[in-house]
A and B are shown apart, each in its own frame.
Chain A
Amino acid sequence: MTEQSPARLPEPRIAPSVAPTTNSHLQITDVTKNFGSQAVLKGVNLSVAKGGTTAIVGPSGSGKTTLLRLIAGFEHPATGSISLNGSKVAGDGVWLPAHKRQVGYVAQDGALFPHLTVGQNIAFGLDTAKLAGGRRGAAGRISELLDMVSLDASMAKRRPHQLSGGQQQRVALARALAREPELMLLDEPFSALDAGLRVATRRAVAKVLNKAGVTTVLVTHDQAEALSFADQVAVMRGGKLAQIGNPFVVYTRPADRATAEFLGDAVILDAWMEGSLATCSLGGIPVRRPPAQGRVQLMLRPEQIRIAEDGPIRGVVVDTDYFGPETTVRLKLSVPPELADRADHRYPGGGEVITIRHWNAPIARPGMELCLRVVGEAVAFPLDPACD
């Protein structure tokens, strides 16, 4: 393994909102929130740059929706403050209600008003008195907004129940955009859609928001959605932000094991860290900025482990799952020959079952022995003292 020359990962792009910036659109400082005796947010700090797209991702109950509702002005923070464009809107005795925040909001199911037509829904937030041309101007603006979300102007006369889920979400977006908000909040807006529609609607929404230059905060429990949609991902867990960074960084260099496992499949192996080289059942693997020396846990993404024609790292196929374009292969690792001779037992001795992905299904059959190689760097986590 060590003879391989691992491809270096590219330098992480630092998200503009994470770097010290003077153009922060949304600033959340030490925000806490309790529901009764339950602490839902436990001191959250987040900065979103003007025009940036941030995805807040986390499991159910992590506090992400509560955070979004605090930004929208539907809930008061217990402590801490929220500022929009440098002006405090909540906290420290200040409270600006939702309807005065100039913040667009799209709910999970679109929350279209069922008793109004599509056009009336979009016009709901428009101040027709201020529009050039009054009502005629409003009609023009509705058509413009429908066009912006790739819907035909004739849709304006339809009722929400006559639209598909994807169309409803687009109308909800058009309605939220009608007031030209500077900040758009999206609360799991694609989760109710089926897989194919979800991707298409997500792309359409991202395109519209990008074009309009609106700062966007998306809340989702779908890590793939967060990674593909945003230029900054904030991972929430237990009412705290576990990690903030650009999608590439949080995926490839998660801050801890829980974040790693939440953001995608992870291969976790016990390892021995010496300098910047970790030795494990997959051989010696370089680690960038090792957090500790000695016993650590090593994290690799399944796609970093490839099947090789030959080599000392081997595993026996336990079982496979065929998904069409790719096959998930579970392998039981053999003891690497270089570790077999070690007498001090500091090094792990193989036998772990790991999962890798491969495009060629017939190559892996249960019982077959495969040679493996690792591409790129691993991430090491210090061992939890409780497990030691």
Chain B
Amino acid sequence: MAGKGNSPRPPLAVALLATLLALFALIPLGYVIYMTAVTGWDASIELIFRPRVGELLVNTLLLMLIVVPATLVAGVGGAWLVERTKLQGHKWWAVLLAAPLAIPAFVNSYAWVSAIPSLEGVWSGALIATLSYFPLVYIPAAATLSRLDPAIEQSAASLGLGPWQVFFRVVLPQLRIAVTGGGLLVGLHLLAEYGAFAMIRFETFTTAIMQQYASTFNGTAGNMLASVLVFFCLILLVLEVRSRGTARYARIGSGAQSKPLRLPLHRYQVPAQLGLMALTGLAFGLPLWFVIRWIVAGGAEIWDVDEFVPALLQTLGLGLAGAVAATVVAFPMAYLAVRHPGWFSKSLELSNYVTSSMPGIVVGLAFVTVAINVAPDIYQTTGLLVAAYVLLFIPRALVNIRAGLAQAPKELDEAARALGRSPFNAFLKITLRLTAPAAAGGAALVFLAVVTELTATLLLSPNGTRTLASAFWSKSSEIDYAGAAPYALLMILLSAPMTYLLFQQSKKVAGQ
């Protein structure tokens, strides 16, 4: 009954704020559509259907075809070993398999180039991307596996299915949402990644757009490449939504859930341990080893306080500003989604997800173009850079605040109002207070993303701005690998606790 649910009419101010944010979020998409329109149909066709785009298309598709299945195998396999087998030290492996996420892909690439300087081409790109992104599949798959109802597997076993049949016919289908979601993230990261592929001279749409922008500032050609890139992103989103289907895999029924079943590995224990050692060693150990090696090799000289401290402070400042701004801006949207669900809040949310699925390069280009043409005063200002961060990373804040708001049901707010508190006071004392921990978690994740963001930062940062990522990039582009190492180490150190937080949170929200 409607009366028991949520009031269908949201507060006007909240709806207005959320609508403004959604409109703001649509700027990059609007920009791509507008640029395609002003370029004209014939010119657009000419710019899109040319051999150069064909090359990039083949590279990108090859990368997708190799990396997405590889991350699925590594991610789901790792998750299954950790959550469903009697793997020795499975608690340690659970954390270690998520750890590579703390290493930005371009730092991973830097380490591999340090190890094998001749590294280049699609297979190298695929190796680095797989090692960097498999935790995006592992984390949701492990979280879902840990929360699947074991009674379903027990029922399958009682119907005569062996352990492998149970895995393929019962467990794997239940991982569909986690796997398709993880696969989508990997795909989007592949489309958006610049640094990792630029370092091994492997060309994708993103690297080509950056080159176009850096060499000629030629808007039209770059914009057409961006529109193809956006088209790919939208295809991925649609594919993910379609493959996810309408099935729901949450546990049904009351009563306590029993512990998940763990299969004995017997003679596979050693191969499993060796396999996981190889995977985490290559994805986490190798980059960390080379970063430390460069630091040792560089000695005290590479710790140039005049360069290092401002980069750290600026990164912390931008990270903090991005985290706070994204959290504040996400609040009205999350409030609408939780307290007033319906087509209105869903469409507003969708506009944010579409924009955040776009590569940083597209958002950066859109902001550069719009700022130069509409508001030149804000071009290359910190405000514009923070606004781009907000658009790129708002889902991280949104998802967390939504979860937090769900822990603060409106009945508590109403109870406070019935106890004489004004709606605003009730919101402050109850809703905001109860949502604060989740919002802080979301802010931390946005902070992590800002710290390691490269492309939008390179395009939009004001003159003189040097973040850890841009300073690392600048040093490594000059083949000063030792000079880049301290920045890489700091990024890893800042990312590590956030990665652990993400891992812990995924366990809580799996199945919701």
Contact = CB atoms under 8 A, between A and B. Distances in A.
A69 B1 CA distance: 13
Contacts of A63: 1, 3
A109 B417 contact: no
Interface in B1-31: 1-4, 7-8
Interface in A113-136: 113-115, 124-125, 127
A60 B1 contact: yes
Contact of A176 (B3, B412, B419, B421): B419
Contact of A114 (B417, B419, B434): B434
**Interface range for B:** 20 to 34
Contact of A113 (B3, B412, B418): B412
A111 B412 CA distance: 5
A261 interface: no
A176 B418 contact: yes
A111 B434 CA distance: 13
Nearest to B422: A99
Contacts of B409: 111
A66 B418 contact: no
Interface in B408-445: 409, 411-412, 414-423, 426, 429-430, 433-434
Contacts of B422: 97, 99
**Interface range for A:** 35 or more
Specify which of B1, B418, B420, B429 lies most central, judged by the most chain A CB atoms within 10 Å of its CB: B418
A75 interface: yes
B8 A99 contact: no
A253 interface: no
B1 A74 contact: no
Given A75-B7, A99-B419, 6 more contacts: A65-B4, A72-B414, A103-B418, A108-B411, A113-B430, A176-B418
A33 interface: yes
A324 interface: no
A69 B418 contact: no
Contacts of B411: 107-109, 111
Nearest to B416: A124
Contacts of A40: 1-3
A208 interface: no
A248 B411 CA distance: 33
B421 A99 contact: yes
Contact of A35 (B8, B418, B419, B426): B8
A100 B422 CA distance: 8
Nearest to B430: A113
A20 interface: no
A254 to B, nearest CB: 23
A104 B415 CA distance: 9
Interface in A40-70: 40, 60-61, 63, 65-66, 69
A105 interface: yes
A66 B1 CA distance: 9
A61 B420 CA distance: 29
B337 to A, nearest CB: 18
Given A36-B8, A107-B411, A114-B434, A98 B418 contact: yes
A179 interface: yes
B3 A179 contact: no
Contacts of A35: 2-3, 8
A99 B1 contact: no
Contacts of B433: 115
Contact of A111 (B1, B8, B414, B421): B414
Contacts of B412: 111, 113
B420 A99 contact: yes
Contacts of B426: 99
Contacts of B7: 75
Contact of A65 (B1, B417, B423): B1
B3 A105 contact: no
A72 B415 CA distance: 10
Contact of A99 (B3, B418, B434): B418
Contacts of A33: 3
A72 B411 CA distance: 12
A35 B3 CA distance: 8
A107 B415 CA distance: 8
Contacts of A127: 420
A97 B417 contact: yes
Contacts of A185: 418
Interface string B389-418: 000000000000000000001011011111
Given A33-B3, A61-B1, A114-B434, A74 B419 contact: no
Nearest to B342: A36
A98 B414 contact: yes
Nearest to B408: A114
Contacts of A125: 419-421
Specify which of A73, A104, A108, A115 lies most central, judged by the most chain B CB atoms within 10 Å of its CB: A115
Interface string A152-179: 0000000000000000000010011011
B3 to A, nearest CB: 3
Contacts of B423: 97, 99
Given A35-B8, A36-B8, A99-B422, A66 B416 contact: no
A115 B434 contact: yes
Specify which of B1, B416, B417, B419 lies most central, judged by the most chain A CB atoms within 10 Å of its CB: B419
A109 B2 CA distance: 19
A103 B415 CA distance: 11
Given A111-B411, A115-B433, A115-B434, A66 B420 contact: no
A65 B430 CA distance: 23
